[in-house]
Amino acid sequence: MNILLPIALAALAGSAQAQAPQPPSLAATVAAMPKGIVRAKGPALDVSIQAARAAIAACAANGHQVSALIVDSVGDPVVLLSGDGAGLRSQLIARTKVNTVVKYRMTSLAVADKAKTDPKLEAELEANPDIGMARGGGVPIVVNGEFLGAFAVSGAFGPDEECVDAALAKVPLH
């Protein structure tokens, strides 16, 4: 009888995993989406590309291989560039940074700092599958008081936000 208990528990665990709801596939999402939906208000493509390149160059000048992501006002990508030698993980972390900025409308570093002394905020971040943990390196894009999106760099392990600031000094997003 003791041998049957582990087998039954394993079968139940497998059954529970099989019943867990799965997110829709990319193909299913595309098929269900109406055609002609235009991207939300955000920075223009050409200046976004220039700014992302400037951020990657600023980091590269200091020996860091990074990814740069600029999103519109609802967090959808305008441009994602990965510098030569940038880790794939840097693209994903940049996404968490812009998601933080879009949700809280402040730099991701300010959110990270606030989370250190606010257990409720820290728990909220950890529970959010699109953030998980706040990290520095994401900044809001605000023009004439209007939130247009977010800009993040990832891969420099510390000076990410400095690369964003250097880029924005050369290429203001509007």
Task: Judge whether 156 lies within some domain.
Answer: yes
Class of residue 99 by CB neighbours under 10 A (exposed 0-12, middle 13-18, buried 19+):
buried
Where residue 42 falls among pLDDT bands split at 50, 70, 90? Answer: very high
CATH number at residue 53: 3.30.450.150
pTM: 0.84
CB 125 within 8 A of CB 133: yes
List, for residues 97-141, the tens digit of each pLDDT value: 999 999 999 999 999 999 999 999 999 999 999 999 999 999 999
Where residue 2 falls among pLDDT bands split at 50, 70, 90? Answer: low
Residues spanned by the domain of 139: 45-170
Query: According to the model, what pLDDT value does residue 1 have?
Result: 47
Where residue 13 falls among pLDDT bands split at 50, 70, 90? Answer: low
List, for residues 65-96, the tens digit of each pLDDT value: 999 999 999 999 999 999 999 999 999 999 99
Task: Judge whether 5 lies within some domain.
Answer: no
Query: According to the model, what pLDDT value does residue 93 have?
Result: 97
Taking the C-alpha atoms of residue 84 and residue 65, their distance in angstroms, rounded to an integer, is: 7
Cβ neighbours for 139, distance < 8 A, ≥ 6 positions apart:
101, 107, 108, 150, 151, 152, 161, 164, 165, 168
Q: How many folded domains does the chain comprise?
A: 1
Task: Judge whether 110 lies within some domain.
Answer: yes
Task: Judge whether 100 lies within some domain.
Answer: yes
Cα distances (angstroms) measured from residue 44 to each of 14, 36, 50, 113: 48, 19, 10, 30
List, for residues 144-169, the tens digit of each pLDDT value: 999 999 999 999 988 999 999 999 99
Task: Judge whether 28 lies within some domain.
Answer: no
List, for residues 25-37, the tens digit of each pLDDT value: 989 989 998 999 9
Taking the C-alpha atoms of residue 106 and residue 116, their distance in angstroms, rounded to an integer, is: 16
